[in-house]
Amino acid sequence: MLKKILFLFLIQILFTFNVTANIEIKARTAILQDFLSGEILYEKEPDRSIYPASMTKIMTSIIAFDLLKSGDLKLDEKFIISEKAWRLSTAGYSSMFVMIGDEVSVENLLKGIIVASGNDACIALAEGIAGTEEEFAIMMTSKAKEIGMLNTNFSNSSGINDPDNYSTVKDILIMSNYLIKNHPEYYKWFSETEFTWDRTGGDPITQGNRNPLLYKNMGADGIKTGYLAVEKYSLASSIEKNGRRLIAVGSGFETKNSRSRQSSKLLTFGLTNFDLVQIAKKNEPFYKVDVWLGKEKDVKVYLNEDIFKTIKKGQKKKLKAKVFYEGPIEAPIEKNQKLAKLKIIYDEELIGEYDLLALKEIKKVNIFSRLLKSLNYLIWGDV
């Protein structure tokens, strides 16, 4: 018999239907995501090719963070500054102001990249990790493909103008999502508003973070600005407020002020027009299903992932959630065995489907008990 259990959640969720409301963002291309649900709340030509400029440095940092996580790199490891790296600190680019021949720690180089947006620090880190910046760029592009950035190629570590260094706001979003999800301990550096480099042969240099949203009282904690004359101004940004995180990426803002205002507008739009709710917690009991001929009459089931959904405000009545299973489930039951399906329905449309797994093993009763249960069922219909 197909057993169907209906739950009505008075909460707000959404998965695949279009939620983009009427809002105009003055950028050539932009995208907004609710981090935990993955829902795209706004997009404007998200696959349009862009020159990512200094947003490239997000991937430069990721390569180092991955190596730190695997133990193949250490924060106190030092790299020697080459002439190529040093020349960028003298050419009018954003710089950490390293000196040729200096030995600089990985931690200082990373903060010089993340906070001061130092192009010289990018080259020093790239050469220290891969030998040459060209080899490092290959690592960057390979990582991009690995995490699903399908329209991106990196040709350098800093984002300095190069027609072969290109991406999209959708890909930059994927990269930003990866950074926050996989390296939360290092992501905190992106919220630091200044970095002081105790340079060789001169007074310490303190530089402020170029991300304008960090200086607004809105919960911003990253990520990276960019500028190229051909691309104009760009920004990958993120805020966290009341346990909810949004990520926005925009490119082609006409001015610095526009970049700040429009990015703020996009993030505020996401906070004020949508709500996020957690439907299920990973590995925690979600419900219980009936068991037939088992040593226990039911078994708890769970989901092996956190389930978050996003929906427009005021739409909670459109939600239904149902558990489907062929039941009762006959023992024996193995731990982690797929027993049921959770189906989430919004406005009569299926918007999510997930496996429900047995939380523990259920053994079969002995033959005498099985006979007694079968007899009861035949006489009374009692399972």
Q: Please name which of 97, 76, 75, 77 lies closest in space to residue 86, comparing C-alpha atoms.
A: 97
From 94, 95, 117, 264, the catalytic residue: 117
Task: Choose among 322, 323, 324, 280: nearest CA to 305.
Answer: 280
- CA 285 to the chain's CA centroid: 25
Higher-confidence position of 215 and 309: 215
pLDDT at residue 180 greater than cutoff 70: yes
The yes-or-no answer on residue 256 being catalytic is: no
Closest CA to 234 of 171, 283, 324: 171
Q: How many CB atoms lie within 10 A of CB 24?
A: 8
Indicate if the pLDDT at residue 376 is higher than 60.
Answer: no
Distance CA 96, CA 158 (A): 12
Q: Catalytic residue at 117?
A: yes
Average pLDDT over residues 165-170: 98
Per the confidence metrics, is the pTM higher than 0.75? yes
- Per-residue model confidence (pLDDT) at position 320: 78
pLDDT cut 90: percent of the chain above it:
77
What CA–CA distance (Å, rounded) separates 201 from 107?
A: 20
Per-residue pLDDT band at 349 (split at 50, 70, 90): confident
- The answer to whether the peptide bond before residue 332 is cis (omega within 30 degrees of 0) is yes
Assess whether pLDDT exceeds 60 at residue 14.
no
Higher pLDDT, 282 or 11: 282
Three-state SS sequence of the chain: CEEEEEECCCCCCCCCCCCCCCCCCCCCEEEEEECCCCCEEEEECCCCCECCHHHHHHHHHHHHHHHHHHCCCCCCCEEECCHHHHHHCCCCCCCCCCCCCCEEEHHHHHHHHHCCCCHHHHHHHHHHHHCCHHHHHHHHHHHHHHCCCCCCECCCCCCCCCCCCEECHHHHHHHHHHHHHHCHHHHHHHHCCEEEECCCCCCCEEEECCCHHHHCCCCEEEEEEEEECCCEEEEEEEEEECCEEEEEEEEEECCHHHHHHHHHHHHHHHHHHEEEEEEECCCCEEEEEEEECECCCEEEEECCCCEEEEEECCCHHHEEEEEEEECCEECCECCCCEEEEEEEEECCEEEEEEEEEECCCECECCHHHHHHHHHHHHHHCCC
Q: Mean pLDDT, to the nearest integer, of 4-15?
A: 38
pLDDT at 113: 98
Condensed to tens digits (0 to 9), the pLDDT of residues 82-117 reads 999 999 887 678 999 999 999 999 999 999 999 999
Catalytic residue, chosen from 37, 54, 61, 238, is 54
Rounded Cα distance between 285 and 299, Å, is: 10
pLDDT surpasses 70 at 329? yes
In terms of Cβ atoms closer than 10 Å to its own Cβ (0-12, 13-18, 19+), residue 199 is middle
Q: What sign has the CA pseudo-torsion 79, 85, 90, 96?
A: negative
Give which of 140, 134, 139 is closest to 84, Cα–Cα.
Answer: 134
For residue 89, indicate whether it is catalytic. Answer: no
Query: What per-residue confidence (pLDDT) applies to 346?
Result: 79
- Annotated catalytic residue, options 57, 170, 232, 309: 57
Please name each of the domains of the chain with its CATH number: 2-13+282-380 (2.60.410.10), 42-231 (3.40.710.10)
Check pLDDT > 90 for residue 127.
yes
Lowest mean pLDDT among 5-19, 25-39, 115-129: 5-19
Q: What is the pLDDT confidence band of residue 372, given thresholds at 50, 70 and 90?
A: low
